[in-house]
């Protein structure tokens, strides 16, 4: 990753840095698609109207995020599918859960991890288009965590820390992505 390299004397990120944006954005696309599939799986266990409605909306959000991010790198690569390793991990987490609260707890942790992952990504991107899109999605992932946390009766301190950090972000190498460009 080349952060801070600029085109001579302009303060503008050089094209070299933009190249690495493709890797980071592509990683996020695969993760978003995996999360959307996980929501499909989770939907069968959720029973309360609030939980069902919320999960359906958030699944759609994750699909929309994947499409918006994929559009940023359109032409550089064919549309990306879900990150298989991450999806397998998510499915293993959800397998065997028959209780709504336990299911929501998994989704809550997942959304917190997504928010942290976007915070991590913002610190690594250089192109303004990618930065704006990722910043927008970061906000919404954090909002997902709060909304699910409210369903779980989390305390205010748990729902809203003073700062969004990248603690606990999804490490690309842990899900088979070893080259971010």
Partner 1 sequence: MRRSPPIGRRQVLQLALVSVLGACTASGHGRAGAGSRPTSALPPPPVVNPGAAVDVLILQTASSLEHYASGIYTEVAGLDIAGRTGLVPLLSAFAGHHADHAATFESATVDAGGRSFTQPNVLLSKDAMSRLAGLQTEEDVLEFVYQVEVLSAATHRRSVGLFADPARNALVMGIGGVEARHMTVLGTQIAAVSGGQASGWAPWPASGFPDALPGLQPGVGL
Residues forming the site for partner 1 (CB under 8 A): 3-4, 11-13, 18-19, 21-22, 25, 57, 60-62, 64-65, 68, 72-76, 115, 118-119, 122-123, 125-132, 135-140, 142-147, 150, 156-157, 159-166
95 or 155, CB closer to partner 1? 155
96 or 119, CB closer to partner 1? 119
Do the beta carbons of residue 14 and residue 32 sit within 8 Å? no
CB of residue 51 vs partner 1: minimum separation in angstroms? 14
Between CA 161 and CA 166 the distance in angstroms is 12
CA dihedral (48, 46, 29, 74) positive or negative:
negative
Q: What is the chain's length?
A: 181
CB of residue 87 vs partner 1: minimum separation in angstroms? 20
CB of residue 8 vs partner 1: minimum separation in angstroms? 13
71 or 97, CB closer to partner 1? 71
What 3-state class would DSSP assign to 13?
strand
Between CA 104 and CA 55 the distance in angstroms is 9
């Amino acid at each position: 990753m080349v952060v801070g390299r600029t085109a001579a004397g302009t303060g503008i990120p050089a094209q070299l840095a933009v190249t690495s944006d493709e890797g980071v954005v592509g990683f996020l696309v695969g993760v978003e698609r995996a999360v959307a599939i996980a929501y499909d799986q989770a939907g069968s266990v959720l029973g309360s109207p609030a939980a069902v409605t919320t999960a359906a909306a958030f699944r759609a959000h994750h699909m929309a995020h994947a499409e918006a991010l994929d559009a940023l790198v359109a032409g550089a690569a064919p549309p990306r599918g879900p990150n298989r390793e991450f999806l397998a991990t998510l499915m293993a987490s959800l397998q065997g859960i028959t209780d709504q609260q336990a299911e929501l707890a998994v989704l809550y942790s997942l959304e917190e991890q997504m928010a942290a992952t976007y915070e991590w990504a913002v610190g690594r991107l250089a192109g303004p288009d990618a930065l704006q899109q990722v910043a927008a999605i970061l906000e919404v992932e954090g909002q997902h965590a709060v909304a699910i946390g409210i369903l779980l009766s989390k305390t205010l301190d748990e729902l809203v820390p003073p700062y969004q950090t990248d603690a606990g972000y999804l490490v690309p190498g842990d899900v088979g992505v070893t080259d971010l460009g």
